[in-house]
Amino acid sequence: MSAPRVSARVSGIEESATIRIANLARKLRAEGKDVISLSLGEPDFDTPAHIKRAAWESLQQGETHYTQSAGIPELRNAIAKKLREENGLDVVPEQVIVTPGAKYAIFEVACTLLEEGDEVVLIGPAWVSYEACIRFSGARTTWVNTSLENGFVPEPEQIAEQVGSSTRLLILNSPCNPTGAVYPKDVLRAVADLACDHDFFVLSDEIYEKIIYGGEHVSIGAFEGMQERTITVNGFSKAYAMTGWRLGYAAAPEWIIRGMLKIQSHSVSHPTSFVQRAGVAALSGDQSEVEHMRAQFERRRDVLIEGLWRLGMECPKPEGAFYVFAHVGRWGTGDEVAERLLNEALVALTPGTAFGSAYRDYVRISYAASIEQLQEALKRMEAVL
Ligand code: PMP
Ligand code: GLU
């Protein structure tokens, strides 16, 4: 029998840290431990009823067979319309691909655009799966690390320093997971200018665009000169509480979509048929629950941030998404603090190093949990720390 050997590509990446810790918290809960999980970025709300109904009706109508690889025309149309009307992007349905989750769209972009020798600029701290997708493609990551003092917003000069002749792609994520930072328009403008001057692409992951507090979401793909060099990625997981449905999408120049489509048609074929119908209902139906969830997240943010500040944790008030990225250096490294809190307080957090090696003294706290759970978690954390 041949030796158990996985490919170099696979051994070069780690399992998703956010998912690993969430599974650990689930396991402890199954063993009867009263763990409060503030580790996973997953809305705790139910998917709105009209969206579930659309999937059910689709099943009843027998839509249980293969669909077009790029997604059903009705959904590609609805996405293109949404991107034109809400995001100011000049998009036709042929420039849209529907994917099983935004994560798969990111993977497809990496495999379509990148190869050995290419460099990708990541703004740190960055969501766990970007670097894994880059590595998998064979390209290298160059980090631009933001700091707590700047509210985790990058300085355009910092980015300019990391851009060179090998730069092929820059990944933007505003509102940002794990910091909750929302990048101001002038920072996006500066990134767009760099992309045009140095001829690289921008993957703009806008999955938290609906979870924003006060500010306004800006899509970099709408800036002059950016249409032909932006891949806008989004999905239904966060805005519509649809994490388990696995539905996302990307909009990009048609030649990029065609490349992504090759990967999709040979791997997953397409997202689930009746789930795509639910996506049409989500985009074209009543949006009031999206706002209701956003308002609840805002209230939770306020409760959590007050409590963390009282505890002495350093963290800026997040302007979007549902995460706080907190400096915990006075108690130890992020790994140590997360381990202690899990064992002694039964509170699960994610260590900062999951989002970049520069963040060893940080933890990420997800507030996709009820106010009661957040208050209880704060009480337990206070007792331990
Ligand atoms: N981008 C970011 C920044 C995320 O936090 C997530 C959450 N998993 C995703 C993409 C992927 O979302 P999904 O695959 O559930 O659509
Ligand atoms: N995006 C979420 C998080 O950061 C879900 C888990 C994942 O897909 O990594 O926790």
Q: Which residues have CB under 6 Å of ligand 1?
A: 41, 101-103, 127, 173, 177, 205, 207, 235, 237, 243, 248
Asked whether 271 lines ligand 2 (CB < 6 A), one says no
Question: Which ligand is closest to the CA of 275, given by its number?
Answer: 1
Residue from 42, 233, 246, 247 to probe ligand 2 pocket by mutation (most atoms less than 8 Å from CB): 42
Identify the residue whose C-alpha is closest to ligand 1 atom 12: 102
The ligand 2 atom at the shortest distance from the C-alpha of residue 16 is: 9
pLDDT at 67: 98
Show the domains of the chain with their CATH numbers: 8-46+288-384 (3.90.1150.10), 66-284 (3.40.640.10)
pLDDT at 160 over 80: yes
Q: What is the pLDDT of residue 366?
A: 97
280-308 pLDDT tens trace: 999 999 999 999 999 999 999 999 999 99
The number of the ligand 2 atom at minimal distance from the alpha carbon of 350 is: 10
Long-range interactions of 47-52: CB distance < 8 A, separation 24+: 47/240, 47/241, 47/242, 47/245, 47/278, 48/240, 48/241, 48/282, 48/285, 48/286, 48/289, 50/281, 50/285, 50/286, 51/240, 51/242, 51/278, 51/281, 51/282, 51/285, 52/278
Global pTM value: 0.96
Ligand 2 neighbour 92 (Cβ under 6 A) = no
> What's the pLDDT at 26?
86
